[in-house]
Chains A and B, each alone.
Chain A
Amino acid sequence: MSGRDPLRYFRIEARELVDQISAGVLDLDQQPEADVVARLLRFAHTLKGAARVVKQQEIAERAHEFEEVLVPHRDESTPSLPAEQMRELLRLNDEISGFVTALSAPAPAAAKPAPAEPEAAVRTVPLNEPTTQAEVDQATTDADLARGADAASDRPERAATADLDDLLDAIGEASSRIAPLRDGGRTLGRLHRNVETLGERMRVGRTTISDASARTSVRRLAGELGALGRRLTDAVDQVERELDEVRGRAEGLRLVPAGSIFTALRRAVRDAADAEGKVVRFQASGADVRMGPNLLNLISSAFLHVVRNAVVHGIEPEAQRRAAGKPAEGTVTVQVERRGRYAEFRCVDDGRGFDLAALRRTAEERGLLAPGADPGAQGLIDLVLHGGISTAPGVTDVAGRGIGMDVARDVALQLGGEVTIANRPGQGATVRLVVPLTLLSMSGLIVEAGGTTATMPLDAVRRCVRLSAGEMATATATARLAHEREVLPFLPLAQALHVPPGDDEARSGVAVVLTADRDTVAIGVDRLAGTSTLVARPLPDLAPAAAVIGSVSIDLDGNPRLVLDAHGLVAEARQESATARGDNSATVKPRMPILVVDDSLTTRMLERSILESAGYEVDLAASGEEGLERARSRQYGLYLSDIDMPGIDGFTFVARTKADPQLAHVPSILVSSRASADDKRRGAEAGAAAYVIKGEFNQEELLAHIRRLIL
């Protein structure tokens, strides 16, 4: 096909519009809102106009009919489309989609290698929402695949544009690093000529080595060569780094977001619910997890069955749901999550769960279970996975005899993963498919600890906090770190990696706050060494590793670098921290409260907010007397007192607590605007463990004192 293909741009535009219409129809079905109708009308109208321009009458007509269905509902604040109109919209949507697909499918240009139209392959497509558009694009492709249509022929044109732009940027960056190398080449040429001249002069005997000018020349040459060498090394380092980035991004391009299968699943849920006369809402999360397209296609095919099963077998008819006190609308949720080197796909429904009695009957009828045998609830559930049973009373169109579970099991087997079912009788069921990921593109935070370099998955990192040497030592000793209103388990990475401790001297470092499994911990590292895009691959078969290691990547020098597993780190930190607490009875009670004594409301509130945000519970007293009263009524971990107060002053307050055998063990910190050495001495004499000057008030310093004293 020549470069003047009149449909070239229409194909792209039409596909986008079809994608948006497909998603919009499902939106309308699930959540009828006026703006969805308006949006759909806009898309359909645009499509109609464009189709007419390129003389695609069938598409234009369907788009027109589509508009006709919607127009009467345009002004309804909550559009209510009768079921048959909804079905009509879906039908038209499918037809349009079919025509649009057919437009590109037989085009010989798509089959030919691209050079004829190179600009088409990397052309930036005008998109409304570039980031999600890629997902929507992919979703429709997969939806088509799921319906048996072959729509894969046009992938290159639709490659995620944002990713391509990133890749092009990275390539540009790498190319720009070549310039210094070229300069270096020129310099080298010049030096080479100089050396040859010098050699020539020595050969003909005009210059001897004792000649002062020759010595100068040699020295200068040596200096220039040295400088050139350093420049070349730097340039090569940079090129390598950039190329690594390019490689990471290019590898990432091969991967597709999990969200790309959501539209197909959503449609499957919708169609199954329609066939069953049920109302079911579809929810999904984890659209951004990226993985290989083959893997995702296989999982998509299995999950189509799984979500249909959830609708047909799981979600009860409306009357039953109401009777059970559930919302009339059922919910099917698909969640995708990356867990280290595995991807987990979950289908959660809030239906009736598996009918154990029916399962048992069927299993006995089919001879899968000896009559009277009791395999237990989970045993019965496992039969579903291993035997081809279905709990439906009849074989319906939508979900065959347990075929869904068989497909899921086969896919899991094929991919080296596994399927499990968690049944909550009356509450619903969760089908979980866990598959190992072979290649996974991710952003990593490079960290160093105990002389080792490792990568943390950046998506699990919440923030990084600099720790002074003292804070680091305290956190390590207590296995805990106060951070933003909570005390987090703290695990030094060197310990998790079994790196032998170096010199015992405490050094400052960084706490990387990680979240996984809805749990947050802090991991102590020596320093951060930047971020990078990397491709993680599974550990080799013959290399069993600790759970904190998730996978491995290849660094610039071709050497393996460990990629840490957030879930493993969280579990390890939890456990280590619990052990550390168990060993030390003084810290068994978590978070001893702090008593703040100050006559100034502002100071009290300021200190309270600082302490609470560091995770402590705080009580307040407005005078020394009130402070003493409170101190006797409750166990505190620390007193924080002002000095100048009406009534007894801070010195007295501290001295009295020290004099009271019940309170003497509780440390005190004096906070005052008095800065003289004399006052500090008096504070120490009274028994205060620390003295903080208000004028130099430093939140971190105060917290450091507190951590030292009560953690």
Chain B
Amino acid sequence: MTAAPGSVGRRLRRLRDDFDQSFAEPARSHDEEHLELLTIRAGGRPYAIKLSQSSGVHPDRPVTPLPGPLPALLGLAGFAGAVVPVYDLAALLGHPIADVPRWLVLAAGSPRLGLAFHELDGHVRAAVSDIIREAGENGGDDGGHGRGGTLRGLVDLPGGSRPIIDIPAMRTLVHGLAGHAQATDEEEAP
């Protein structure tokens, strides 16, 4: 089962280590010039998430369905004894699909909040210069496809540009849906 001592195996291992490492230190912004991004698909559409705005990514977490008034609320997941509500990103973005999302990103901040998406394309380090309209101004409508300003900017990547999901804005949207006042001391992630 051990990898052949070839260059491909080594490279693969290094890539995997790098990938794992990136999760071990999610909040660190390496420098001002670059941005750590997760490239994902939610409801079949490509997006990017700033790693610094998340506190963990998990595949295949069992989610206990919770009947209630919000279709976007998929249910509850357990994380080390804590119960975390999980919302469907695609539904929050306004284009729900029937498929059950496989991945889950924990939003930074409190109370704990999980956002589920369907596919994880990868992890990229993008140059700030590749971000278009990063200063997307509060409530800016990002070309009309953001819901309540939950998309902020686009990132140019090989394979096309992706809208960047602003996790704090997504959290604000969820707080609004759940009728829960948001704490004012919410730390804004960079």
Contact = CB atoms under 8 A, between A and B. Distances in A.
Contacts of B73: 543-544
Contacts of B70: 544
B83 A537 contact: yes
Interface of B: 62, 64-70, 73, 75-78, 80-81, 83-85, 111-113, 174-175, 178-180
Given A548-B67, A557-B62, A562-B64, A542 B81 contact: no
A561 B180 CA distance: 23
Contacts of B68: 543-546, 549
A552 B68 CA distance: 14
A559 interface: yes
Given A541-B178, A542-B111, A542-B180, A559 B67 contact: no
> What is the size category of the interface that chain A forms with chain B?
20 to 34
A498 interface: yes
Given A537-B83, A559-B62, A560-B83, A544 B69 contact: yes
Contacts of B69: 544, 546
A541 B180 contact: yes
Given A496-B67, A544-B68, A562-B64, 16 more contacts: A497-B67, A539-B66, A541-B178, A542-B85, A542-B174, A543-B66, A546-B67, A546-B68, A549-B66, A549-B68, A554-B81, A558-B78, A560-B76, A560-B77, A560-B83, A561-B64
Contact of A545 (B66, B80, B111): B66
A549 B67 contact: yes
Given A541-B111, A543-B73, A562 B66 contact: yes
A544 to B, nearest CB: 5
A176 interface: no
B111 A559 contact: no
A542 B113 contact: yes
Interface of A: 452, 496-499, 537, 539-546, 548-549, 552, 554, 557-562
A644 B81 CA distance: 69
Contact of A498 (B67, B83, B174): B67
Contacts of A554: 78, 81, 83
Contacts of A498: 67
A628 to B, nearest CB: 52
Nearest to A555: B78
Contacts of B180: 541-542
B175 A542 contact: yes
A541 B113 CA distance: 10
B85 A452 contact: no
A358 to B, nearest CB: 38
Nearest to B175: A542
A561 B70 CA distance: 19
Contacts of B62: 557, 559
A548 B68 CA distance: 9
Contacts of B78: 554, 557-560
Contacts of A496: 67
Given A540-B111, A543-B85, A558 B80 contact: yes
Nearest to B114: A542
A523 to B, nearest CB: 14
12 contacts: A497-B67, A543-B68, A543-B76, A544-B68, A544-B69, A545-B68, A554-B81, A558-B80, A559-B78, A560-B77, A561-B64, A562-B64
Contact of B179 (A544, A548, A562): A544
A488 B76 CA distance: 32
Given A540-B84, A558-B80, A545 B67 contact: yes
Contacts of A557: 62, 78
B170 to A, nearest CB: 12
Nearest to B80: A558
A560 B63 CA distance: 8
Contacts of A559: 62, 64, 77-78
B56 to A, nearest CB: 15
Contacts of A548: 67
Q: Which 3 A-B pairs have CB atoms at the shortest separation, nearest pair first?
A: A543-B85, A560-B76, A545-B68
Q: Which of B67, B68, B80 has the most CB of A within 10 A?
A: B67
Nearest to A548: B67
B65 to A, nearest CB: 7
A549 B83 CA distance: 14
B66 to A, nearest CB: 5
B162 to A, nearest CB: 26
Contacts of A540: 76, 83-85, 111-112
A378 B76 CA distance: 40
Contacts of B178: 541-544
A469 B81 CA distance: 39
Contacts of B113: 542
Nearest to A545: B68
B69 to A, nearest CB: 6
A376 B103 CA distance: 55
A499 B66 CA distance: 10
B163 to A, nearest CB: 23
A496 B62 CA distance: 21
Contacts of B174: 542
A690 B62 CA distance: 49
Nearest to A451: B65
A496 B81 CA distance: 27
A498 B73 CA distance: 13
A537 B81 CA distance: 11
A552 B65 CA distance: 12
A73 B85 CA distance: 65
Nearest to B66: A545
Nearest to B62: A559
A552 B67 contact: no
B64 A560 contact: yes
B172 to A, nearest CB: 11
A21 to B, nearest CB: 44
A534 B77 CA distance: 18
Contacts of B77: 559-560
B2 to A, nearest CB: 17
Q: Which of A537, A543, A545 has the most CB of B within 10 A?
A: A543
A558 B81 contact: yes
Contacts of A561: 64
Nearest to B84: A540
Nearest to B64: A560
A41 B85 CA distance: 60
B133 to A, nearest CB: 29
